[in-house]
Amino acid sequence: MKKLLSIILAVTMIFLMVGCGSKNDQVSNASGEKAVKDTLTVILSSEPVNLNPQICNMLNAYIVEFLVYDTLLEKDAQGNIIPNLATSWEMIDDTHIRFRLRDDVYFSNGKQMTAEDVVYTISRCVNSATTKSTYQYFDDVNTVAEDDFTVVIALKQPFAGVFSLLTHAYSSIVCKSYVEEVGDDEAGLNPVGTGAYVLEEWVSGSSILLKRNDNYWGKKGASEYIKFKIITESANRAIELETGAADIVLDIAINDANRINSAEGLKLICGPSYRTTFIGLNLAKEETKNPKVREALACALDIEALVEAVYEEYGTLADSIMASTIQGHKAVRNHEYNVEKAKALLAEAGYPNGLTLTGRCQSIVEFKTIAEVVQNMWANAGIKAEIQVLDKATYTELGKKNGGTHITVTAQTATTGDAYQALGTIFSTTSASGIINSSDKELESMIEKASATYDEAERNKIYEEIQDYIVNNYYAIPVAFTNILTGITDEVQNFVHSPANTPDLTYVYAYEK
């Protein structure tokens, strides 16, 4: 059996890569022996609702958006923040940052990008229902264009996560005049960006075709076309790779992984992620507001057995609510599997005969399996968990109705690789996720203090305290740190593992067989 291509991600963010660099480097995609495919075919597990960066919050949308749009800043392969649309920046004071912009950038509709587009984008980030909790520390009112290519981004308070957040797909710069003219819906279906690719065709429910932007300001994309095919069934995604119908398949299912890894002409790329699966406990519901009930729920679960059953060798037991790949992580797991203790805690909480709780999860194999296993484990302690398996829209809506459900089986991917996104969003009092529904002022104070601390060592220490607080108060039950599984053919060149699960495909190409 062929050796598994395993990419180890440490704090230094070192990846296996071939020929990748900054946007000003040259890429050679020609060979005297092999022809390069015109179209790189990539399989997505779900279809983006739209490609409007400040409206859509789907990982698969981010992958496409990073090709169509650009951000002010980006991260290199080692996780360092580097210039992109912004050529340089300086801290004026703790709440004002001046960015100098490139003067040679044009949107795909021919309009030049200026500081006004940046100001407009920041305003959208602050005010969109999707992004406003994430950008709560940005001050859009006092964010100004000093001239056509200089912008000052203002903050409501010092915010150390500002630079990482400006690399997020949410922060993709949109064309002010275009969005104002056509509206959000049209802008999301026919995006106009400054990226290396432009939308050529979108067949709803089937595929998204991008074409290389030959007027791109930076290094041109390696493939003339990138075609994203939408295949929701995991087994069918694997078949696309095995039959040669696809070059890259994202989100390979665990039950397909070993077969892909041993197949001739294919590679399985397995790398760690910024992702943690967990069970969120709703502090706004009467039963799970009780700390003894929350502790009982934790004690009644054999997490080691759960992780082994769900992830096999492709995930590890989570020792915190924040992934170990993120700076500031601390191992804080604080309970052991003990059904009798769980029963005793329920009795102390006023439920000697057990109790019934509501729950939700998205209709994803991973979450459905976790839900099934924990329901059986909880039943041994007298806890009946009625967990509904839902499509994304219904899942989101249920989180807003009647204070949400007691339990949410879910995951958090901090796509920026920053602790603020991992801990400062879902667990904040301003979170709109409906998972925790915290009103904890002490926790909020710690989150705000960490966010406002620019000193890295001090900031990490506060985030360690936050992890202690969340786990020891049983606001959530950590389950697993998950690996990302991607299948590629041997002909694929320049693919780089992304711990955010948003690989940059700009310079990826494939040879003809």
Per-residue model confidence as pLDDT tens digits over 106-152: 999 999 999 999 999 999 999 999 999 899 999 999 999 999 999 99
Predicted confidence at residue 79, as pLDDT, reads 86
Asked whether residue 295 carries a pLDDT value surpassing 90, the answer given is yes
Mean predicted lDDT score pLDDT of the chain: 93
Q: What is the pLDDT of residue 452?
A: 96
Q: What is the pLDDT of residues 332-341, one digit of tens each?
A: 977 789 999 9
Residue 423 has pLDDT above 90, yes or no: yes
Residue 5 in this model has a pLDDT that exceeds 90: no
Q: What percent of the chain has pLDDT over 70?
A: 94
Give residue 412's pLDDT band: very low, low, confident or very high (50, 70, 90). very high
User: Over pLDDT 90: what percentage of the chain?
Assistant: 87
Q: Look at residue 403 in the predicted model and tell me its pLDDT.
A: 84
* CATH 3.10.105.10 at 274-482, yes or no: yes
Cα(196)–Cα(176) distance, rounded to whole angstroms? 19
Closest CA to 49 of 58, 40, 38: 58
Closest C-alpha among 85, 52, 89, 55 to residue 71:
85
Residues spanned by CATH 3.90.76.10 within the chain?
63-180
Confidence at residue 433, expressed as pLDDT on a 0 to 100 scale: 85
Q: Identify the pLDDT of residue 216.
A: 98
Strand order in the sheet with 86-93: 86-93, 96-101, 150-155, 138-147
Q: Where in the chain is the domain with CATH 3.40.190.10?
A: 5-49+191-272+484-510
Parallel, antiparallel, or unpaired: how do β-strands 509-510 and 315-317 relate? unpaired
Return the pLDDT at 471. Answer: 96
pLDDT of residue 45: 94
Q: Calculate mean pLDDT across residues 283-288.
A: 97
pLDDT by residue (tens digit) across 302-359? 999 999 999 999 999 999 999 999 999 999 977 789 999 999 999 999 999 999 999 9
Rounded average pLDDT over 21-47 = 71
pLDDT at residue 22, as a whole number: 38
Predicted pLDDT at 425: 82
List alpha helices for 29-142, DSSP H.
Answer: 59-68, 115-127
Q: Which residue has the higher pLDDT, 405 or 28?
A: 405
What is the pLDDT, as a whole number, of residue 50? Answer: 97
Crossing angle for the helix pair 176-189 and 115-127, nearest 10 degrees?
50
The pLDDT score that the predictor gives to residue 78 is 84
The pLDDT score that the predictor gives to residue 32 is 54
Question: CATH code for 63-180?
Answer: 3.90.76.10
Q: Name the more confident of 428 and 277.
A: 277
What are the tens digits of pLDDT across the range 217-226?
999 999 999 9
Query: For residues 382 and 410, is the Cβ–Cβ distance under 8 A?
Result: no
C-alpha pair distances (Å), 269 with each of 40, 249, 261, 481, 502? 18, 10, 9, 16, 14
Enter the tokens of residue 69.
């749009």
Return the H-helix or E-strand segment holding 176: helix 176-189
Is pLDDT above 70 for 253? yes
Helix (H, G, I), strand (E, B) or coil at 236: helix
Counting DSSP H helices and E strands in the chain, the numbers are 15, 20
* pLDDT at 212 (0 to 100): 99
Is 3.30.9.80 the CATH classification of the domain at 5-49+191-272+484-510? no
Give the confidence band of 7 by pLDDT, cuts at 50, 70, 90: very low
Give the pLDDT score at 185: 97
Q: What is the pLDDT of residues 142-178, one digit of tens each?
A: 999 999 999 999 999 999 999 999 999 999 999 999 9
Across 410-438, average pLDDT:
91
Q: 9 to each of 177, 320, 335, 429, how far by Cα in Å?
A: 41, 18, 28, 32
